[in-house]
Structure 1
């Protein structure tokens, strides 16, 4: 099985503390497992955890680890491996992008060979969902240290070769604990093909069996090619334009609001995604979430209001560089940036679109400059998405936003059991981000994959991340 995907870079690593894009993320999930797994319908099942149970009003969680699971080198999985893997992201000196997810952990310990007890600083009914995150992959302990370098894991595939940004080759793990129910390919190659046209050509020529991020401009034509099937999945993944709230350019809330009113979302949906998505509202919670606030008014294009806000802030005639790359969005990042620059002129905003290389964008540009772009895969719960990207200390807080009231509400939401009260908390958080945050979220983009005739997928694909929540290598199969 050969996948042609985007998002690879020479800076890619097997270190789960990083922030991967699709090329290496597919390999992470092929090589390793987490304690829990989110299914395409949003339900949570055990992966390396056979079971889990809360006590002390969801402040203490006990996980029973599956018996008989081994790493690729034959080492049995133990509770100590789990504890060390979670601790790998903890601590004041942690550089992990998943650090915020484990900050609520006050203590974690193995109380038996296959039993892990987690003590939280405060109750959190959603904690088991956090253990399904791609950072929380379980790694082996070797000589007292977590081994992430070798690729050794419990997953359905064993690493054969790793060329960052180029190619990753895998072979099936014959001792996979899920047996024949998952990991159906004998061998897999993940090929990084950044250019959408080149990916399409590779699929049509048979060089690859499946591609991600099908170009919306050519999706109808590609779907008409004999032997090629198009699968489109809606979900909570959203594309972003990011304002660094600590920078001199965007420190003023009125300036941030002006830039939000300078976006014509309807036009962007039509011209950039050609309708393959839905419009966003400058906060991450969409209609697929249980606590989506339908009462939050949709922000519309209003250049006159943007002008008024800029004048109020003393920032009339503002000029900014928008630094981006094609990989910044799953589809149409450069086109969107150019269109936004055109739209913003009516508000007196001059945007210079600065195109950066795809290779190194995530490590050198994203979250490093005052004005850039990005995208975020959905998370199964409101608490998770807020914690991972909008908490002040989150490693992935790419707008560097710090709102004390939002922080208080984040804690309150975890402690609130009553659904009506919890809905009110999350509604207020959506309003805060919409009004005060540095996030411009104009679009929710659909995932579009192109498949060869021999590729079989589950009836329903996950929409959180592309390629079936980055689980395609394990979940898909190939007929003879």
Structure 2
């Protein structure tokens, strides 16, 4: 790895040369960001490229009825009102929610945001016979829109949403459903491909131009409804750079001001060059989601536990330069949802071997598994060396792991298909980094058998009656303290069942030039760029 690192550092400037040399110097008021994504996220309203797509093309161009408060670094982000000023739950039927909309909000094209626009946007992702239905956006929104059964306009400033079951976590989901302009779609011949070139949302940024796989340029929306979020920068330039060393080269050569996920071995050099290295705790884990189909060795809990005990997490943290912490489950042990798991996830290769022997495996009969992984992507950290490290750990105890490597967006497509899809036949797991910023994504929709993909995140068809009971109970609990207690019980259950293989929690590192000012690193996968300036 040291040899590879040295070669990579030597090649950095060469790899970065394909990017526009016209941007080789910082310009006041222009923030240039190198993303880990391999392409520009979908611009029509529901971004592609996972959480990174939402960070750079969702909450920039668009708003939802709710949003995350990303203004603080010392406490976890919470949901607050956005395009909806307030909401109430019907006390006699808790599946019915009433949202009071914010008045005076304009789309980028000058048209008015109102209840008709909300209904139109729900139709675009949920009503297949509506003229504006867009399958591409529906696919990206599926996990967020899954709880919604129906929606209707009460009056110009009031919308009613009914969920499929009592669902106390709906406000979290709505922060991921973004409002596109109906008028702009009408003006552009009712064509989403044309809309993608000239999108219109209500967000703090407006898209000026983009070129797939190369760059997107966003400019300030001076008329954003929240005057505290008028952007400090005039322009935001987004550059897809999936290769970590290329991102470092671009930062060191002055071609960008900010990079996501710098490789650990480059951090000392970046600090030497006076670059800012910013980290913070946030709800994120790097795991393997497992298949529970009949052809998967992971259907046996002894194999799942052995795999969890086989990994030297402290070694991976050291390899990552301290930019991670060992995982003891899906949730970090300081989080209110951690609970009290009995199965202690640590490095114990001898216990792993004993469990595999008990399950019928041994030196002459290793466990053979095939995992889907990606070379880069939203929250994937440094996936190739991390996967190779884990592969060696597995080999030491008697697990032979084979990889199928694919582009991040292709991997996400395979995740949305589920383990039982023909394309995933013979694959026993998928290495998809995971966030637990809300209880639905983090626990409920990952563990509930009722949350099979594409409506949830249960890729591997995990089924456990106790997990289902707790997941549904959490959805039906509106008291935050009581809901936290139930979620702790759910997390305890899935750790004791070794539902997935959990490796490390990311510290969300990013590097930026010394003249980048005003950034507040929220304890969230999402970040607000409106306060950032380049001097």
**Which TM bucket (shorter chain)?**
0.7 to 0.9
Partner of 1:387: 444
Q: What pairs up with 1:82-93 in 2 under 5 angstroms?
A: 82-90=118-126
Tell me how many residue pairs correspond in the alignment: 468
- Contact (CA 8 Å) 1:23, 1:192: kept in 2 or not? no
TM-score (norm 2): 0.78
Partner of 1:137: 178
Partner of 1:464: 524
- Return the offset for 1:307: 2.9
- Return the offset for 1:355: 4.2
- Contact (CA 8 Å) 1:8, 1:22: kept in 2 or not? no
- Contact (CA 8 Å) 2:436, 2:443: kept in 1 or not? no
Which of 58-67 and 146-155 deviates more? 146-155
1:45 is aligned to 2:80: yes
Structure 2 vs 1, CA of residues 55 and 145 (structure 1 numbering), >3 Å: closer, same or farther?
farther
Partner of 2:21: none
Q: What pairs up with 1:270-281 in 2 under 5 angstroms?
A: 270-271=318-319, 273-281=320-328
- Return the offset for 1:165: 2.7
Partner of 1:324: 373
- Contact (CA 8 Å) 1:409, 1:429: kept in 2 or not? yes
- CA-atom RMSD, angstroms? 3.0
SS in structure 2 opposite 1:274? coil
Cα distance per residue 1:415-453 (max 9 Å; x no partner): 235667545532331133223354211100111111122
1:26 is aligned to 2:56: yes
SS in structure 1 opposite 2:524? coil
Structure 2 vs 1, CA of residues 357 and 119 (structure 1 numbering), >3 Å: closer, same or farther?
closer
- Structure-2 separation of matches of 1:26 and 1:362: 18
Q: 2:163 aligns with which of 106, 116, 120?
A: 120
TM-score (norm 1): 0.87
1:452 is aligned to 2:521: no
- Return the offset for 1:408: 2.3
Q: What pairs up with 1:430-449 in 2 under 5 angstroms?
A: 430-436=491-497, 438-449=499-510
- Contact (CA 8 Å) 1:4, 1:212: kept in 2 or not? yes
Q: 1:237 aligns with which of 284, 296, 309?
A: 284
Partner of 2:534: 478
Q: 2:270 aligns with which of 222, 227, 247?
A: 222
1:346 is aligned to 2:407: no
- Return the offset for 1:406: 1.8
Q: What pairs up with 1:355-374 in 2 under 5 angstroms?
A: 355-357=405-407, 360-363=410-413, 368=424, 369-374=427-432
Partner of 1:301: 347
- Contact (CA 8 Å) 2:45, 2:62: kept in 1 or not? no
Structure 2 vs 1, CA of residues 421 and 309 (structure 1 numbering), >3 Å: closer, same or farther?
same
- Return the offset for 1:265: 1.9
Structure 2 vs 1, CA of residues 420 and 152 (structure 1 numbering), >3 Å: closer, same or farther?
closer
Partner of 1:99: 142
- Structure-2 separation of matches of 1:31 and 1:247: 44
- Structure-2 separation of matches of 1:285 and 1:59: 28
Unpaired runs of 5+ residues, structure 1, are none
- Return the offset for 1:378: 3.2
- Contact (CA 8 Å) 1:17, 1:96: kept in 2 or not? no
Structure 2 vs 1, CA of residues 114 and 423 (structure 1 numbering), >3 Å: closer, same or farther?
closer
Which of 436-445 and 5-14 deviates more? 5-14
Partner of 2:244: 196
Unpaired runs of 5+ residues, structure 2, are 1-30, 130-134, 419-423
- Structure-2 separation of matches of 1:209 and 1:423: 39
Relative to its length, the structure with more helix (as a share) is 2
- Contact (CA 8 Å) 1:68, 1:76: kept in 2 or not? yes
